[in-house]
A and B are shown apart, each in its own frame.
Chain A
């Protein structure tokens, strides 16, 4: 493949727009009405929003009325974590949208070295707490792809009368989610990780969970989220949710690509460390360390080779901070500092994997410590 075409392997950051989402949005942009207006134009917009609401709800087995559309996963997480006023008990590997919203009073559930939360610790924390608690455990970690035992955490939370929220932003379309079986009170979703538009997401809330809105104003979203609906974005979100089954079916293919990627590199570098590899993982993610080469150096080298990957959580200035996720997994700082995340998605193919492994091995060769200075 030519070096001037982008090899995009950063789906956990965001995914390229799916054609169905684009089509749905273009159609929605031509609808002039405000979904709150009673006239025909307003009703047309309302139809789009409600159709999408049904699609989003169906993707996770929820009743449509439980869906609160938001401006993305971050807002959904913030609403969930702050909206009940309960004391927050969260895993050590939550996204900053949960961690920073939870504030200093939050209690942290540690994770094992393989990146899965310690359920015994959750039990201990809840048994020692007085007052109302909200447990927040993500379904899939964004950096390592580890799948968290949310159902088990929910059972524990129930036993202690706590509410439970799960951030499923990285899980939608990668693991099957059925809220009739996954007994959580709130779940955060985002459209763009799956190939929908950026800037739209949802918090799905079980009936009866008391929630104080973040935004006040109009009575949209049953008075739970004020503001004129992002009709086109919501339409795009609905469209990708309608493809969740295909996306789930595609995970086997992506896991095959990911496994080949790791195997190819491991055959050349038997000491390769892949974070979270011993835990259940989604098929699209690999967090791998090139020992002795700083992650930011790798990112630059891959970028110069036309390959987009990620490291830690990128901050707004483009700086790379040490990953709190790998720290929580007790990874050695040097190793954590040399970890890069590769994440595949609907547009990924064998060529992308081949390009990445070739670039990885080339950089590994160039940066060997015995390199002639």
Chain B
């Protein structure tokens, strides 16, 4: 039987000054006008450092914390071992943390929902020549929909996650803001959060840096304090997503030509899913250059199974068509002008936001005009709109074009 730890009062005298300052920075992580012991907060615990610290902070602050870990995919799938009913290391870690914190913890089997809502879409998106972001779909369709509903069913007042994003209550309700640490900001992955979901969500770590989170992990005595950050996409072992797509859609991965944008056939490829817009290395056409000009993937033609390459200039895009737009900002002026509103946009998770004008074009669509062309804008990625640190919304990149004249 695991001994339940009595948590130290997080701001007790004698607590390390660094810890005190980090906890002070978090403040009240929930902000509901109700006794904390009667305020139930479900924490989505992945077994990683961030969500473990989230649970610890909330438990330490006296909330009625319930940990839930989602089993999203068969841990043994990579080894083609079907029906394995054993919890993976992450689930084990989450359970250990919950035991240490003395909070109830449950594992929910979401394999089917995850497969239907995230993995299938991931495969189809790649086969369309896109570069999908399954983590966004997972937040949108699994964590913030099904898990959030379950949290409500359990009588919870809020659902907390370890994301580095900030939820700030403004005059019009809850707003989504970037995480304080620009290197850790995960708001890009949360653009599809609805207003109703955001009202219910909490991101206690949004104001912290990763080192600060690790300080808290050590303070709370969590065994995961030194656990490395997760890499890549959780259900893709070793980053070999082509293998995953091939397993899900046997026969759909078809070899074809690598074609220069001037029409020359430069070589063959084993399937467009091995390529992404803007990719320069590993094109498999030797030399990687054309009259000493490096070549980039500038297009993926799924219908013709062609990878189109060209010089860097051919990647430049300043027009982005965005679909399935989710809007979290204040309502835009009705006319919205012909000019659109000034925003900054992120076109991939690792990019810094670029100046642009945003025009909502009706329905759930939008057109983004970039102030300066961007290189490597890939359909399937998200285009997320910001004003300052506030996330206004975002959508999926459907098409790109260029009015820019070089």
Q: Which residues of A contact B (CB under 8 A)?
A: 293-294, 296-297, 299-301, 303-304, 315-321, 363, 366-367, 371, 373
Q: Does B285 contact A (CB under 8 A)?
A: no
Contacting pair A300 B91 (CB below 8 A): no
Q: Does B301 contact A (CB under 8 A)?
A: no
Contacting pair B109 A300 (CB below 8 A): no
Contacting pair A317 B107 (CB below 8 A): yes
Query: Known contacts being A303-B104, A304-B104, A373-B196, is A316 close to B154, with CB within 8 Å?
Result: no
Residue among B66, B107, B109 with the most chain A CB within 10 A?
B109
Task: Please name all residues of chain B whose beta carbon is closer than 8 Å to the beta carbon of A363 when the two chains form the complex.
Answer: 153
Cβ of B225 to closest chain A Cβ, rounded Å: 24
Contacting pair B108 A296 (CB below 8 A): yes
Cβ of B59 to closest chain A Cβ, rounded Å: 15
CA distance in complex: A321, B87 (Å): 14
Interface residues of B in 99-114 (CB under 8 A from A): 104, 106-109
Interface residues of B in 36-81 (CB under 8 A from A): 40, 66, 68, 71
- 0 or 1 for each of B286-321: is its CB under 8 Å from A? (1 = yes): 000000000000000000000000000000000000
Contacting pair A296 B153 (CB below 8 A): no
Task: Please name all residues of chain A whose beta carbon is closer than 8 Å to the beta carbon of B109 when the two chains form the complex.
Answer: 296, 319-321
Contacting pair B154 A318 (CB below 8 A): no
CA distance in complex: A199, B71 (Å): 30
Q: Does B268 contact A (CB under 8 A)?
A: no
Q: Does B150 contact A (CB under 8 A)?
A: yes
Q: Does B155 contact A (CB under 8 A)?
A: yes
Query: Known contacts being A296-B108, A304-B104, A373-B152, is A316 close to B86, with CB within 8 Å?
Result: yes
Our pick among A294, A299, A316, A367 for the contact of B85 (Cβ within 8 Å) is A316
Closest chain B residue to A371, Cβ basis: B152
Cβ of A303 to closest chain B Cβ, rounded Å: 7
Query: Known contacts being A319-B107, A373-B196, is A366 close to B155, with CB within 8 Å?
Result: yes
Interchain residue pairs A-B with the least CB separation, the first 5: A317-B87, A315-B85, A319-B109, A297-B153, A318-B107
CA distance in complex: A363, B104 (Å): 18
Our pick among A304, A315, A373 for the contact of B154 (Cβ within 8 Å) is A304
Contacting pair B86 A301 (CB below 8 A): no
Cβ of A371 to closest chain B Cβ, rounded Å: 8
Task: Please name all residues of chain B whose beta carbon is closer than 8 Å to the beta carbon of A296 when the two chains form the complex.
Answer: 106, 108-109
Task: Please name all residues of chain B whose beta carbon is closer than 8 Å to the beta carbon of A294 when the two chains form the complex.
Answer: 150
Contacting pair A318 B153 (CB below 8 A): no
Query: Known contacts being A296-B108, A300-B66, A300-B106, is A317 close to B153, with CB within 8 Å?
Result: no
Closest chain B residue to A320, Cβ basis: B109
Contacting pair B66 A304 (CB below 8 A): yes
Interface residues of B in 108-167 (CB under 8 A from A): 108-109, 150, 152-155
Task: Please name all residues of chain B whose beta carbon is closer than 8 Å to the beta carbon of A321 when the two chains form the complex.
Answer: 85, 109
Task: Please name all residues of chain A whose beta carbon is closer than 8 Å to the beta carbon of B155 when the two chains form the complex.
Answer: 301, 304, 366
Task: Please name all residues of chain B whose beta carbon is closer than 8 Å to the beta carbon of A318 when the two chains form the complex.
Answer: 87, 106-107
Contacting pair B154 A301 (CB below 8 A): yes
CA distance in complex: A296, B153 (Å): 11
CA distance in complex: A297, B327 (Å): 31
Contacting pair B87 A297 (CB below 8 A): no
Task: Please name all residues of chain A whose beta carbon is closer than 8 Å to the beta carbon of B87 when the two chains form the complex.
Answer: 317-319
Cβ of A126 to closest chain B Cβ, rounded Å: 30
Task: Please name all residues of chain A whose beta carbon is closer than 8 Å to the beta carbon of B150 when the two chains form the complex.
Answer: 294, 297, 300
Closest chain A residue to B40, Cβ basis: A304
CA distance in complex: A319, B104 (Å): 15
* 13 pairs of residues in contact across A and B, judged by CB atoms under 8 Å: A297-B150, A299-B106, A300-B66, A300-B106, A304-B155, A316-B85, A316-B86, A320-B109, A366-B153, A366-B155, A367-B153, A371-B152, A373-B196
Closest chain B residue to A299, Cβ basis: B106
Task: Please name all residues of chain A whose beta carbon is closer than 8 Å to the beta carbon of B71 when the two chains form the complex.
Answer: 317, 319
Task: Please name all residues of chain B whose beta carbon is closer than 8 Å to the beta carbon of A316 when the two chains form the complex.
Answer: 85-86
Task: Please name all residues of chain B whose beta carbon is closer than 8 Å to the beta carbon of A367 when the two chains form the complex.
Answer: 153
Given contacts A304-B66, A316-B85, A319-B87, 8 further A-B contacts (CB under 8 A): A296-B106, A296-B108, A296-B109, A300-B104, A317-B71, A319-B109, A366-B153, A366-B155
Cβ of A211 to closest chain B Cβ, rounded Å: 30
Closest chain B residue to A298, Cβ basis: B153
Cβ of B348 to closest chain A Cβ, rounded Å: 32
Cβ of B26 to closest chain A Cβ, rounded Å: 25
Contacting pair B106 A317 (CB below 8 A): no
